[in-house]
Structures are given as structure tokens and as C-alpha cells.
């Protein structure tokens, strides 16, 4: 009798991925995205590539977020980022709280 094959996801588990390189995520507002990713999260805008106001590359160590301007994209799944200091993150995010209204009125 032939045995039934089963799919074992753990065989191809990549576990602790160290380098995703980059991913693309569309955003409708470049100013608001820069406020969140650069000022709030503390990442840096790529200093070598300038796409103007229709795309930006945000550096996170050796990884990048490519954020072209388009209708908001809903990302299926979870994006995790390791940060060195939670208190600094809280301070930065508190510093941008309420800034959306200021940008939206420009």
C-alpha cells in the first residue's frame, strides 16, 4: 500500500532571515511617509537616490523600504524591525504626534 505524502512546512522554514534587502510599499503621501519613517521611526532617506516627490527609498541599516507614491497599499503579513532603544522610539513617535494635521493643511 502506498503511503500518503504530507507537506511539512518546517523542512523549508527559513527561520531567522538576516537580509530581506528591500520591499516595495506604495504610499499616497510622501510628506507623511517621510514624517513617519524618517522622523518618527528614525530611519534615513537614501542620500544617493533622489526621485523627487514620486518615490523615496528609506534605509534601515542594509535594508530598504521603497515607497513609491500611489494609492495606499495594504501589505499582507507582518513587517518586523529590530530597534536598539524603545525609549528613543517612543520619544520620536510622541514628537510627531498630531503633525498629520499640519502637513495635510499645507
User: Quick one: pLDDT at residue 39?
Assistant: 94
For 58, list phi and psi in degrees, rounded to 5. -110, 125
> What is the distance between the alpha carbons of residues 40 and 34, in angstroms, rounded to a whole number?
9
> Mean pLDDT over all residues of the chain?
81
Q: How many domains does the structure of the chain reveal?
A: 1
| pTM given for the model | 0.72
Task: Identify whether 14 is part of a domain.
Answer: no
List the CATH number of the domain containing 52.
Answer: 3.10.180.10
Task: Identify whether 63 is part of a domain.
Answer: yes
CB 84 within 8 A of CB 43: no
Task: Identify whether 25 is part of a domain.
Answer: yes
- Domain span holding position 61: 20-72+80-104
pLDDT in tens, 36-62: 999 999 999 988 887 888 899 999 888
CB 104 within 8 A of CB 98: no
Amino acid at each position: 500500500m502506498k503511503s500518503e505524502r504530507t507537506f511539512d512546512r518546517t523542512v523549508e522554514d527559513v527561520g531567522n532571515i538576516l537580509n530581506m534587502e528591500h520591499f516595495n510599499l506604495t504610499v499616497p503621501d510622501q510628506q507623511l511617509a517621510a514624517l513617519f519613517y524618517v522622523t518618527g521611526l528614525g530611519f534615513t532617506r537614501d542620500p544617493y537616490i533622489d526621485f523627487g516627490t514620486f518615490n523615496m527609498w528609506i534605509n534601515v541599516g542594509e535594508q530598504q523600504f521603497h515607497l513609491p507614491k500611489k494609492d495606499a497599499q495594504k501589505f499582507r503579513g507582518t513587517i518586523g524591525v529590530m530597534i536598539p532603544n524603545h525609549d528613543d522610539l517612543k520619544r520620536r513617535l510622541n514628537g510627531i504626534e498630531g503633525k498629520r494635521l499640519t502637513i495635510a493643511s499645507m
